[in-house]
Each structure stands twice: as structure tokens, then as C-alpha cells.
Amino acid sequence: MITTIALDLDNTLLNSAKEISAANQRVLTRLHQEGKRIVLCTGRPLPAIEHLLEQLGLTGPNDYSITFNGGLVQNNQTGEILAQTTLDKAAVELLTRDAAVRHYPLDVLGPDRVYSLTEFGQSKYEKFMNGKLKFAHINFADLPENEAFGKVVSAAPAEVVAQTRAGIPAEISEHFNVVPSRRELLEFLPEGVNKAVGLSKLLTHFGESMENLMTFGDEENDLEMIMQAQVGVAMDNAIPLIKDAADVITLDNDSDGVAVYLQKYFQL
């Protein structure tokens, strides 16, 4: 039985205006009220999605989110951490060496702010976040020594992101899960971290398994959760890799694809 519905945000749950449509909100709210676990799965930290959690009413004692693309499983109400995998400054330094040679921007996500590393050029990440996170513009040398970092991102034009990923040296690929979350954003996650890993930890906490899970996604960073869920749903606007991996394809994110499939599956 499906007990948990996990949703990517951009271009999946959210429409092109970065909003949850009235139809998606109505269906998800009803399912949550009927006892289904609704879990937002995103690369963003919890403070950046609080407005979405409140909109959907996902603020109870048993409501959780998967953030940092699976690196952090956190209670929506209390902020309590159920599971976490992080990077240290030494790991970030591996990326700075390559970025210095191949010239791509880096932003490091810490516990309460994003550190935009100024020596690697202007990043688009602050614009992407649209005021949802606090940013500090610093040199790598000033990055705190004792903080745990959720991930590192490179936000740049699509062609720069593609070139960056294509040329990743083995030293980095051995220590990071390097995956795009959109054409203009490359994510450097701790080794072994993905959304399915976070969801598995959450389901285990509730005494359940991936057999109880339905997932929705559109991009490569959704691949593992689409493949491993009992029901993996790709949006019609998803990349071919996700469509091929999915059990079913629903309408696109501007056509209430999430709500349409949930209504059909649960016979609402």
C-alpha cells in the first residue's frame, strides 16, 4: 500500500511560475488529511521551502522533508534532524582546485547561509534562491573550518554546466555524487547521497519500505527515487532518462500533472 508520496519541486510540483497550483494543493491537502505522508524532496534547505510546507499544511509532528537532495532528513515542525550526511572544508577544497583551473562558480551551503566563493566568479545561485536564503560573499580561505556543509553547487549558463560536468576529474567523482538538478545548476553532493537514500531512511523510521512509496520527478537528481519507488511517476516535461525509468508518465507541471495522476490512482 502506498503510504508516502514524495515530490520534487521545480518543474514537478511547482509550475513555471514557481507556484503550487490550486489543483495540486487541493489534492495533496486532501490526501494528507486522509493519512498519506506527503514529503517534499529538494536540493534546497528547509528554510527555503517553509512557505510551501505551510501552504500544504505539512507542519505536524510527523511531517518531514528531504532536503539537500537526500543529504538531510528533517522534521518540518521542530527542525529535528533524523538523518544527515555532510561535507567538510577539506572536501570543498577538492572542488576549488578544479574550479580554479576550469573556471566555474561555486556556492557552499552551510547550516544557516550560503557561502558564495568570490574568487571563482559571479554565481547565479543567489538569483535562483530569490531571497529565500542568506548569502555571504567570501574567499575560500575564510570558509569556516568547523562547519558541516550540505552540498556545493555551481550555477551558470547551461553550456558552462554541461562542460563542467563533462570534465569532472576522477578525484572529484570518487568523493562526490555530481548531478544536475536543472540545466543551469550542477550539484556536488556527498558520496552516496541521493533522494532515494533520504527517503529510505525516513521510511525505515516509520517501519516501512520503498514498497510504500510513490515519487514524482523530472530531472536527473530524481532518478534513484523514481527507479526505487513502488510507483515512480515522471512528468511529461521530464528529461528522457526519467521518462524511461518511470512506471508511468503524467501531464506536465503546468497542467496539474501531480494532481491528475493522484486523483486517478487514489480514485478521488
Q: Which residues are catalytic?
A: 8
Give just the sign of the alpha carbon dihedral 167, 169, 172, 176. positive
Taking only Cα atoms into account, the Rg of the chain, rounded to an integer number of angstroms, comes to 18
Contact 242/220 with Cβ under 8 angstroms?
yes
Q: 139: closest CA among 158, 115, 157?
A: 115
- Give 16-27 as a DSSP string: TTS-B-HHHHHH
Q: Cα torsion for 259, 220, 205, 88, to the nearest 10°?
A: -140
Measured CA to CA in angstroms, residue 194 lies from 68, 102, 125, 182, 190 at distances of 9, 26, 20, 15, 9
Characterize 12-41 residue by residue with b for buried, 16 or more Cβ atoms within 10 angstroms of its Cβ, and e for exposed. Answer: bbbbeeeebbebbbebbbebbeeebbbbbb
Other C-beta atoms lying within 10 Å of the C-beta of residue 148? 13
Contact 201, 82 (CB under 8 A): yes
